[in-house]
Amino acid sequence: MKRGQVTIFIIIAVVVIALTAIIFLSRDSFKIGGIPESIDPVYNEFQSCFETTSEEGVHYIASHGGYYDVPFETSIVYFTEDIPYYFLESKNYTPTIEIIKEELAKYISENLNSCFDLESYKTRGFEIENENYSILAKINEENIEIKMLNKITVIKGEDKSRFNTETNLDYDLKKFHEASVEIIKSYIENPGTICLTCLEEISEKNNVNILAVPHEDPSIYEDDIIWFLINDKEDTSEKKLNWIFIVEQ
């Protein structure tokens, strides 16, 4: 055999060995970093549940003025819903954007198990180490980033996986909050009255609709109040956000 032929065989052997090593390492990497097929159903349902709960959480806190747990001392009960005062007894109780982020994260953390059927998977042979869900919500100008900081462990037979998840929602909570802050600032400057010109300016600036409804029936509420309902001018869907709060008149 000529020297040139030997060299070609050596090169081919080296290439084959290298390809085999790459395939082997890739398979190992998939097993370590990917989701095993047997655990896919759990991961997929959890991801779907996380997205659904996050969206429900945004709508819930919007309809409760930015709260999941509405402060008892500064709220009223309307049928079964707690509605927060933003202005009561000459004091401003408008929540900060940081409080709103914490309230949204708390809603998601405490409601994930309502749609993720943990017990059902356990009866089907899955071992799931379920910790308290640690959630981080970041409210940006035009969207909300929601991340699960900790991981859950799922075991099925010899397969094991640890995962968390995240989602982005196209809601602009900031403009609702900023509109609310401006409404309360205007109300403090003109206590007991509704400045319609001010509301129009706030509405145009934040691209929202603002409905102010005075309620003066003392048989229902101890004090006269004004309901404020804010929603997106461009959103006409049934799922549009309604940001609701009240002030003492």
DSSP letters for 196-238: HHHHHHHHHHHTEEEEEEEE--TTT-SS-EEEEEEEETT--ST
Angle formed at CA 106 by CA 62 and CA 88, multiple of 5 degrees: 50
How far, in Å, CA of 31 to CA of 60, rounded?
A: 39
Residues 6+ apart with CB under 8 A from 151: 162, 163, 164
* Residue 34 pLDDT grade (very low, low, confident, very high; cuts 50, 70, 90): confident
Determine the pLDDT at residue 229: 92
Determine the pLDDT at residue 17: 56
* Residue 31 pLDDT grade (very low, low, confident, very high; cuts 50, 70, 90): very low
Determine the pLDDT at residue 13: 54
How far, in Å, CA of 218 to CA of 6, rounded?
A: 101
Determine the pLDDT at residue 122: 84
Q: What is the pLDDT of residues 154-183, one digit of tens each?
A: 999 999 999 999 999 999 999 999 999 999
Select from 125, 188, 129 the least CA-distant residue to 156. Answer: 125
Write down the domain spans for the chain: 1-33, 36-60+103-169, 63-96+172-248
- Residue 154 is classified by DSSP as E
Contact 229, 62 (CB under 8 A): no
> Dihedrals φ, ψ of 112, to 5°?
-60, -40
In the Cβ-directed half-sphere of 19, how many Cα atoms lie within 13 Å?
A: 6
Determine the pLDDT at residue 130: 73
* Residue 94 pLDDT grade (very low, low, confident, very high; cuts 50, 70, 90): very high
% of the chain surpassing 90 pLDDT: 55
Determine the pLDDT at residue 7: 60
Tell the CATH topology of 36-60+103-169. Answer: Pantoate--beta-alanine Ligase; Chain: A,domain 2 (3.30.1300)
| Average pLDDT of the chain, as a whole number | 85
Higher pLDDT, 114 or 24: 114
Contact 230, 210 (CB under 8 A): yes
Distances in Å between the alpha carbon of 87 and those of 20, 69, 122, 184, 192? 70, 18, 49, 7, 11
* Residue 8 pLDDT grade (very low, low, confident, very high; cuts 50, 70, 90): low
List beta partners, residue 162. 153
* Residue 23 pLDDT grade (very low, low, confident, very high; cuts 50, 70, 90): very low
Please state the pTM of the whole predicted model: 0.81
Higher pLDDT, 85 or 193: 85
* Residue 28 pLDDT grade (very low, low, confident, very high; cuts 50, 70, 90): very low
How far, in Å, CA of 111 to CA of 238, rounded?
A: 23
Radius of gyration for the alpha carbons in the chain, expressed in angstroms and rounded:
27
List beta partners, residue 156. 159
- Interhelix angle for 173-189 vs 196-206, to 10°? 160
Contact 225, 215 (CB under 8 A): yes
pLDDT at 22 over 60: no
Determine the pLDDT at residue 120: 85
Range of lowest pLDDT (5-14, 165-174, 240-249): 5-14
Determine the pLDDT at residue 118: 79
* Residue 217 pLDDT grade (very low, low, confident, very high; cuts 50, 70, 90): low
Higher pLDDT, 78 or 29: 78
